[in-house]
Amino acid sequence: MSCLFRPLFLSPCVLALGLSGCSNDGAAYLIDGPRHAISVERRQDYFWEKRFRFSAVVSRLPDCQRKHMIQKAGPRARVELWQPGPNTYILRIGDNTYVTETQTCRSFARLEEAPPGGYGRQLGVFAMRNGVFSFLPEESPAENASAESSQGVEEGMDAPGTSTPP
């Protein structure tokens, strides 16, 4: 085989190697079924990137749907989901807090300080579990106690809701 054709054979291998470390996954919190939901996506375009781009997809179909960029964070970052009021949601990732809504799906803002009325009720957390990015619903204290006594806590995993807002 001539040297002229060797690069053509190598290019699919190099392309596969370059894309092999990429990741694009997401999880959803269903509010009123799949038509009314908040999803969090995390994306790593190149295997050498150490951080993922996180975004939120807010939808209440057929009226609205919008994707909002959250921020970049590490692969084990957790996104807490809170509900301070009807159709209003708070996303916390690290020290940063964002507010969005599902009435028009347009509003999205980073909060500089905690909301005056607090974060509201914690719904759960978007996080890695058993190698899969998932939404882990917040359990009520009674459900949590019952689950821990019957199954024990999975070793090495943080339970949803263990972090306390500042």
- According to the model, what pLDDT value does residue 23 have? 81
CA 120 to chain centre: 19
Name the residue among 137, 104, 144, 143 with its Cα closest to residue 121.
137
Per-residue pLDDT of the chain (166 residues; tens, 9 = 90+): 444 544 544 445 444 444 455 788 999 999 998 899 999 999 998 888 899 999 999 999 999 999 999 999 998 999 999 999 999 999 999 999 999 999 999 999 999 998 888 899 999 999 999 999 999 999 865 554 444 444 443 333 333 343 444 4
Classified as helix, coil or strand, 124 is: strand
